[in-house]
Chains A and B, each alone.
Chain A
Amino acid sequence: MNAFTGTGTLLRLALRRDRIMLPAWVYLLTASVASTAFSFKKLYSTGTSREQLAASLAGNSSLRALYGPLNDAASIGGITAWRMGVFGAALAGLMSILLVVRHTRAEEEDGRLELVRAGAVGHRAPLTAALATAALANLLLAVLVSTVLVVLGQAAAGSLAFGLSLAVCGLVFAGGAAVTAQLAETGRAANGSACAVLGLAYVLRAAGDSSSARDPGAVSRFSPIGWSEQVEPFAADRWWVLVLASAFAVLLAGVAYALVARRDLGAGLIPSRPGRTVGAPSLRTPLALAWRLQRGTLYGWSAGFAVGGAVFGGVAKGVLDLVRGNSGVADILRRMGGQQAVLDAYLSTVMGLLGMIAAGYAVQCVLRLRGEETGGRVEPVLATAVSRLRWAGGHLLFPLLGSGVILAVGGLTAGLAEGAAMGDLMGSVGRLLGGALVQLPAVWLAAAAATALFGLAPRWSSAAWGVLSVFLLIAWLGPVLQFGRRVLDFSPFTHIPRLPGGVFTVQPLLWLTLLAVGLTAAGLAGLRRRDLG
């Protein structure tokens, strides 16, 4: 028996367990590329319309920070690669992280891997099976995305380069997650740290891309998502970047293999310290327990938002400088309503982005309830004098208030960074805090949808991620794809006033909040009457 014995069986097991999740991810990603390309085919059918797009983008560093530079305006494939490249690569990364951690550290944490490893299974087999699953998913993604673009009449080389540029980012983060899965003791921590790196990679390239019009700045080269952009599908088709990135993914996997041989099953490389003999006097309520369980996540997200806010806020001045320095866009500037309007458009986009990410935090917090239930940890608690509502209430305080905390942190650092650069510290902080906190009703609605699922259809709790993805896709792609009003209305994020700059209206916020209260109440009512465990 060698270290890889059993990999094939484990791979089949992984594919069977992921028979819904994996195709869903690949389908959603491919479908968003396909629908983007399809709608661009109608929107920008003429060369001049595409050149106009390129010209207006040249002056808009905020959009470049969000999507990356437009390298090839000559073809539909080129603008599709621009629009979907960064998000597609980041989402492929996220998919890979979730896949790898799910089959490695999460399995180990739940004790199932122990059972598996006791069979004729080598110590490298589980990791190999997990990496192979991620590799298959990314390969499938590359094939499907390339095929879709070729079918839509785009150049074969560019289509293939684009498909592979997404997949290769996925591979790098699969390797990264393989490493964090060895370091951290819990699946949650492994996911969290790998996602933090993913977030940092996105922010790094955002900073790099917004810094100048054509050259994607040196900082982008430190970001795996930046590498995917450097492939420049349809424009340069740099295959060697793909090779380099793949080599880096292999290197990371090698590090993970080296680490897996150096540690015990179930242990991380960072050992845990002994705990307290006696519980602190404050550890006496369901809320205190929820705080102990959720505080780490809150700290992590707050740190992420602090960094993200500061970077996006700091970039704001660059947006203006670029516009000022470029006479060609003076026209656009005037059309958009002057400097302040350009700045506000950028900042309100960033605030919207923070809101959407915060919704991910809120949904994660709600699903913690389900984790406690299926993990068997809720039974002993509910067998004491704690009602179901008090137990759930303790945890639900985090999507309610914790989301506010992370948004406030993001708005605050964005305001401080922008204010320091522009000179109006207090004004900036105030405006951006407002812009961040105004997102809360939409965040609450996403959390409320998760609560309703948890209470009324517990087995379908993780469908909350699906609901959130639909909300986000509509808010991101809806305006581009010119969805109808009805479809746009379905996402709470399209109802949030665009602050700073936009008109503040209370009405949609009230409606969203009311709806969130209603869904939460329905979920809690369901929780009170259903079976637990």
Chain B
Amino acid sequence: MTTAISVSGLVKTFGRTRALDGLELTVAQGEVHGFLGPNGAGKSTTIRVLLGLLRADSGSARLLDGDPWHDAVALHRRLAYVPGDVTLWRNLSGGEAIDLLGRLRGGLDSARRAALLERFELDPTKKGRAYSKGNRQKVALVAALASDVELLVLDEPTSGLDPLMEEVFRECVAEERERGRTVLLSSHILSEVEALCDRVSIIRAGRTVETGTLNELRHLTRTAVDAELAAAPDGLSGLAGVHDLVVEGSRVRCQVDTDHLDALLRELTRIGVRSLTSRPPTLEELFLRHYQADTPAAEVAR
């Protein structure tokens, strides 16, 4: 497995703000990698460093076996970028912007361009601000997807797209993966991440707090347990890895770290179980837990 992006110990400060604080990120060639984190976590900053627009203070970043700062021009021929907030030139039509950006990158496939315009139902004759937010986003998407590149860097590419177009976008990214392209996808839309991403990295306050496949991440978090027991339990609160314990007579509800599930179940069966439901964390719970600022990073990583 060769790596398309490898970032380690990346630090970037803006005056007193420490936007990136030792960030780690590895994206393998050919994978769709979700890049998640709460607002202001440093996703866009990381992407700008990878594009050679910002200069990191320390740490290392490699992109397609090149240095994002020194080899910017050569690397950019091999990647396409969609910013989260697209602004267009007001005297250029959408079609012109697509062609210009494609040609500046080294050419674009006009058949693909036409097909994408049709799929995204985009009118290329409008100019600048005459486009709605979603349509501006589509201009950037078409310009990126119509180019023949190895790596797609997408920073919240679907912000403002309607559900139909969101679906088209998912199909397009799935096709890109089929073609063997690598995608770095920063997103706040969890269903999108779940549908598309092979692996994800979650960052908070400029640090990576978790990285792996969604299944691995699920495994790392807690399972909710709700049980009706034969008798009132005692000593459950003493068990390691049990949280938010509520005991009402013989009914027990709690959250348990997945690696301590075994011990809890043994204790429950010892008392006698009448009924039991256990539920793996939903995606939302999983992310909320990682996003919440009051959970120390060390605990999240546990």
A residues engaging B (CB < 8 A)? Answer: 109, 111, 185-186, 266, 272, 274-280, 283-286, 288-289, 292-293, 296, 375-377, 379-387, 529-533
Interface code B99-122, partner A: CB below 8 Å = 1, 0 otherwise?
Answer: 111011110000000000000000
Q: Is residue B87 contacting chain A, with contact meaning CB distance below 8 A?
A: yes
Residues of A within 8 A of B99 (CB): 278-279, 283-284
User: Which of B73, B127, B129, B140 interacts with A385 by CB under 8 Å?
Assistant: B73
* Contact present for B54 and A383 (CB under 8 Å): no
Shortest Cβ distance from A390 into B: residue = B73
* Contact present for A382 and B51 (CB under 8 Å): yes
Residues of B within 8 A of A531 (CB): 53-55
Q: Is residue B93 contacting chain A, with contact meaning CB distance below 8 A?
A: yes
Q: Is residue B264 contacting chain A, with contact meaning CB distance below 8 A?
A: no
Residues of A within 8 A of B97 (CB): 279
What's the least CB distance linking A278 to chain B, in Å? 5
* Contact present for A384 and B93 (CB under 8 Å): no
* Contact present for B103 and A284 (CB under 8 Å): yes
Q: Of B76-84, B215-223, B272-280, which binds chain A?
A: B76-84
B residues engaging A (CB < 8 A)? Answer: 48, 51-55, 72-74, 76-77, 79-81, 83, 85-101, 103-106, 124-127, 129-130, 140, 143, 153
What's the least CB distance linking A451 to chain B, in Å? 20
A186 to B129, CA, bound (A): 11
A156 to B55, CA, bound (A): 60
Residues of A within 8 A of B76 (CB): 382-386
Residues of A within 8 A of B85 (CB): 376
Question: With A296-B91, A387-B73 as given contacts, are A284 and B104 in contact (CB-CB < 8 Å)?
Answer: yes
A10 to B26, CA, bound (A): 48
A185 to B126, CA, bound (A): 15
Say what secondary structure dominates the interface of chain B. mixed
* Contact present for A284 and B100 (CB under 8 Å): yes
* Contact present for B95 and A376 (CB under 8 Å): no
* Contact present for B96 and A529 (CB under 8 Å): no
A533 to B51, CA, bound (A): 12
Q: What are 11 A-B interface contacts by the 8 Å CB criterion?
A: A276-B93, A276-B125, A277-B95, A278-B124, A289-B89, A293-B89, A380-B101, A382-B51, A383-B53, A384-B106, A387-B73
Shortest Cβ distance from A266 into B: residue = B129
* Contact present for A385 and B53 (CB under 8 Å): no
Residues of A within 8 A of B90 (CB): 109, 185-186
4 closest residue pairs by CB, A with B: A275-B93, A279-B99, A383-B81, A384-B104
Residues of B within 8 A of A277 (CB): 93, 95, 124-125
A383 to B87, CA, bound (A): 14
A377 to B136, CA, bound (A): 12
* Contact present for A293 and B91 (CB under 8 Å): yes
A280 to B95, CA, bound (A): 10
Residues of B within 8 A of A533 (CB): 48, 53-54
What's the least CB distance linking A18 to chain B, in Å? 24
A5 to B106, CA, bound (A): 53
* Contact present for B53 and A292 (CB under 8 Å): no
* Contact present for A276 and B106 (CB under 8 Å): no
* Contact present for A279 and B100 (CB under 8 Å): yes
A288 to B73, CA, bound (A): 18
What's the least CB distance linking B20 to chain A, in Å? 13
* Contact present for B81 and A380 (CB under 8 Å): yes
Residues of B within 8 A of A293 (CB): 89, 91
A284 to B73, CA, bound (A): 16
Residues of B within 8 A of A272 (CB): 127, 130
* Contact present for A532 and B72 (CB under 8 Å): no
A383 to B52, CA, bound (A): 8
A512 to B133, CA, bound (A): 47
A380 to B85, CA, bound (A): 11
User: Which of A292, A377, A385 interacts with B105 by CB under 8 Å?
Assistant: A385
What's the least CB distance linking A526 to chain B, in Å? 12
Residues of A within 8 A of B86 (CB): 380
User: Which of B55, B89, B96, B101 interacts with A384 by CB under 8 Å?
Assistant: B101
* Contact present for A383 and B125 (CB under 8 Å): no
* Contact present for B124 and A384 (CB under 8 Å): no
* Contact present for A376 and B73 (CB under 8 Å): no
Residues of B within 8 A of A185 (CB): 90
What's the least CB distance linking B84 to chain A, in Å? 10
A118 to B256, CA, bound (A): 47
User: Which of B55, B104, B140 interacts with A386 by CB under 8 Å?
Assistant: B104
Question: With A277-B95, A278-B95 as given contacts, are A384 and B105 in contact (CB-CB < 8 Å)?
Answer: yes
Contacts A376-B83, A379-B53 known; 4 new A-B pairs at CB < 8 A: A109-B129, A275-B96, A533-B53, A533-B54
What's the least CB distance linking B297 to chain A, in Å? 26
* Contact present for B93 and A283 (CB under 8 Å): no
What's the least CB distance linking B48 to chain A, in Å? 6
A376 to B87, CA, bound (A): 6
* Contact present for A279 and B77 (CB under 8 Å): no
* Contact present for A377 and B87 (CB under 8 Å): yes
A274, A377, A385, A386: most-surrounded residue (chain B CB, <10 A): A385
Shortest Cβ distance from A532 into B: residue = B53
A273 to B87, CA, bound (A): 19
